[in-house]
Structure 1
Amino acid sequence: MAETYASGPFAATIPTEQERLRMLERFRDPDTAALLESLPVQESWRCLEIGAGTGSVTRWLASRCAHVTAADLDVRHLKPTANVEALETDVTTHSFAPGSFDLIHARAVMCHLPSRDEVVERALQWLTPGGWFVVEDVYTLPVGSSPYPAMNVYARAAADSARARGADMQWGTRLPGIMAQLGYVDVHVETKPRMIGLGGLADDLWRLNLRQAGPHLIAKGLFTEAALTECLDLIDDPTFVDVRYIGISVRARKPA
């Protein structure tokens, strides 16, 4: 996992990656806060944030809970505090002691883990009885679902690249059933279509995603400069609107 993403389109060494992560936080944080506020969060809770990024969710949790372990492949953008531990690790291989956490949260990361099903299974052991696992993920719409040919070309290239690195951008719809089979209870699912072409952060984030991912896909022979330009031009077209993926949030509890 660490080696796969060390030199990919979203590696921490890319000059615009920190900007992209902060943009993702501004786009997703309101929904994440509402989701976490739906839980009976307590001051005594110990939390694990998987894929902590630049730390906005970690800071939210730290302001309400006793301790937060912020785990990521690269923690250069995370600031440890009295109740925040920045842990540079790969959760697909790292082991936490049973019953270590009252809450585990992961956003925009699980679909990228080659052994994501195993992490969901191991997380059940890491939780205290009654503890919660909250996952925010995506369901990328099937290739060919867009009425814009250039977007379908990009979708095909992105899907092939994701598959090659062990990711599954449609895994989110499998998660509720996986959790139920593993023994999680109180499984709850929320979905939200994500659109581009309406302006604002969603469009800005897509532009940056394309500008970072495009050159890597082109280098692999999966995409072309012309298609990248056409996709970027579409986002700037005031008549353009498209649904590219469905956001899916799943929360479930370890039996007490």
Structure 2
Amino acid sequence: MAQQPATPAPYRTGVLSNDTPRERERLEAIQRNVDAFTTGILQDLPLQASWHCLELGAGAGSIAYWLFERCPKGRVVAVDLDTRHLDAGRAANLEIQQADITSDGYAPGSFDLIHARYLYCHLPTRDAMVERATRWLAPGGWLVIEEPYHLPAETSPFPSVQRILAAYQHMYRDNGADMTWARGLPALLARSGLAEVSFTGNLGCMGGLDKDRWRPLITQAAPALLAEGLVTEADLGEFSTLLDDPAFIDIPQVTVSAWGRRPTQLPAAPAAS
């Protein structure tokens, strides 16, 4: 298998890595806010107890743990660049792998289900990596990918949110991420040979006392944003005050979830004329 470019340094040791002190808090905030949506999609697939599953970019592990309970006769492989937040002792059919999927891979036909969330938009050769994942599917297997589509920062009705989101999006762009790539995901799955391609969206919520996902995200990024002069302490203070206001609600992004199935048989070759 050809070697792919390594995952960018910021995800290994920089502001976007597990070395940041609030990374666990950020991962858990994501899980609290989007796991129900993710598991709803997975539940609608014909999950079998014997399935072999691959969770790419497993993070703090909630989806991998959910899968091993539903596939007790199969196995779940949870892979991440850094596995410190994963617990291999949770189940006998759970395997934790620390690996960089941009340089490591799996044998063709290995998995009945592959799932990834908020991963591919950060990879340097994201389209090619999706195509690689389709080859890891067994015939009839499913690939489910969920990625954020950031709405334009300037469209927020809150000036401080405009400044914070513009800086946050700038940081990701500078580190090679594409937060609008998700729009083309369904078409990419179809071009990669998957059938029964479908998709849906999950509106992100910023604000509301019961959905405080963005505080740990911005808190984690704040030192880098301040150091680069992208925001001020006043911006961060105003943003924190907004998050404490139960009347504050904004929609910063949409998560695009797309999935498709590897055909059980390849299409027949056209008859010779």
TM-score (norm 2): 0.88
8 A Cα contact 2:10 2:17, kept in partner = no
Aligned equivalents of 1:171, 1:250: Cα separation in 2: 12
Please, which of 116, 129, 138 is the counterpart of residue 148 of structure 2?
A: 138
Structure 2 letter corresponding to 1:144? E
1:192-225 Cα deviation digits (max 9, x unpaired): 222222221x22x211111111111111222222
Residue 110 of structure 1 and its aligned partner are, at CA, apart by: 1.8
User: How much has 1:2 moved relative to structure 2?
Assistant: 5.3
2:40 counterpart of 1:34:
yes
Question: 2-side partners of 1:97 and 1:197: how far apart?
Answer: 43
Whether the 8 Å contact between 2:37 and 2:202 is mirrored in structure 1 is no
1:123 corresponds to:
133
> What does residue 63 of structure 1 align with?
69
The letter of the residue matching 2:112 is: D
Cα RMSD of the aligned pairs, angstroms, is 1.5
Q: Partner residue of 2:164?
A: 154
Q: 1:222 — aligned with what?
A: 230
Gaps of 5+ in 1: none
Deviation, 1:107, is 1.2
Aligned length: 254
- Code of the residue aligned with 1:183 in structure 2: it is G
Unaligned runs of 5+ in 2: 1-6, 265-273
Q: Percent identity?
A: 44
In structure 1, what is the equivalent of residue 93 of structure 2?
83
Shift of 1:141: 0.1
Amino acid at match of 1:154: I
2:251 alignment partner, SS class: strand
Aligned to 2:178: 168
- Which structure has the larger Rg over C-alpha atoms? 2
Shift in Å at residue 44 of structure 1?
A: 1.5
For residue 14 of structure 1, give the secondary structure of its aligned residue in structure 2: coil
| Equivalent of 2:22 in 16, 20, 25 | 16
Q: Is the 8 A contact 1:101 1:127 kept in 2?
A: yes
Structure 1 residues 23-32 or 129-138, which shifts more? Answer: 23-32
Amino acid at match of 1:83: N
**In structure 2, how many angstroms separate the alpha carbons of the residues matched to 1:64 and 1:228?**
42
For residues 214-242 of structure 1, what are the alpha-carbon distances to aligned partners after superposition, in whole Å with 9 as ceiling and x for unaligned? 11111122222221222111112233221
Q: Which amino acid aligns with 1:134?
A: V
SS, match of residue 153 in structure 1: helix
Distance 2:75 2:249 in 1: 42
1:107 and 2:113 correspond: no
Distance 2:105 2:70 in 1: 25
Map of 1:198 onto structure 2: 208
Q: Say whether residues 1:213 and 2:221 are aligned partners.
A: yes
User: 1:163 aligns to what SS in structure 2?
Assistant: helix
Confirm or deny: 8 A CA contact 2:29 2:216 kept in the other structure: no
**C-alpha contact 2:208 2:247 (8 A) present in aligned 1:** no
Paired residue for 1:231? 239
Shift of the 160–12 alpha-carbon distance from structure 1 to 2, 3 Å rule, reads same
